[in-house]
Amino acid sequence: MKRLAVYCGSATPADPRYIDFAREVGRTLAERGIGVVYGGGKLGLMGAVAYGALDAGGEVIGVIPEALEGMEVANHDCTRLHVVPGMHERKRAFTDLSDGFITLPGGVGTMDELWEAVSWSQLGYHTKPVGLLNAFGFYDGLLTFNRHMAEVGFVRPQHRGIIIDDATLDGLLDKMAAFRPVTSIVQIKASDL
């Protein structure tokens, strides 16, 4: 994996562990020679991941919608900053520019990105690993809910393993490296999205 899309919150939680963790993720990815593709912002966990990677000499590619770039939240310190028309183009660029996805703690936007990566895997738009970094047990409830959806029958058996989770970055990267693509429902091209 040469580049990973990193999904995470643009907020700064009161608990400083989250920012420290995000900065460490960016630094570690850079030290492993893995480029970061992310939302292009300088705030919250997004900014911490980017600056962690940049401070370690890593490649950081930001992808930000025009509306957010205009609000002066764009990180112009990135190796490259792509300004795109909207959120759909942003998520498509994440997929096109990366070899996989890692989700750190975040809010609604982070969930949107995670679930779209999962959905696009089910539909055959990509065959890349979708990692969930369950720092501090943040995603315990989501993982339980995902298992529940599968048990009820809303997630096909062949798609139960799309979300790859671990509490540590090293463990998650190892699992992602061993990922084998799932059997998709159909094969969709980017032009079909």
pLDDT at 165: 98
| pLDDT tens-digit series, residues 11-36 | 999 999 999 999 999 999 999 999 99
| pLDDT tens-digit series, residues 100-109 | 999 999 999 9
Q: What is the CATH number of the domain that holds 121?
A: 3.40.50.450
- Mean pLDDT computed over 120-132: 93
Q: What is the 3-state secondary structure (H, E, C) of the chain?
A: CCEEEEECCCCCCCCCHHHHHHHHHHHHHHHCCCEEEECCECCHHHHHHHHHHHHCCCCEEEEEEHHHHCCCCECCCCCEEEEECCHHHHHHHHHHHCCCEEECCCCHHHHHHHHHHHHHHHCCCCCCCEEEECHHHCCHHHHHHHHHHHHHCCCCHHHCCCEEEECCHHHHHHHHHCCCCCCCCCCCCHHHC
For residue 70, pLDDT over 90 is answered with: no
Q: Quote the mean pLDDT of the chain.
A: 94
- Mean pLDDT computed over 40-65: 97
Whole-number percent of the chain with pLDDT over 90: 86
Residue 86's pLDDT band, with cuts at 50, 70 and 90, is very high
Q: Which residue has the higher pLDDT, 65 or 190?
A: 65
For residue 83, pLDDT over 90 is answered with: yes
pLDDT at 182: 78
Count the domains in the chain: 1
- Mean pLDDT computed over 158-175: 96
Q: Which domain holds residue 102?
A: 3-192
pLDDT at 65: 94
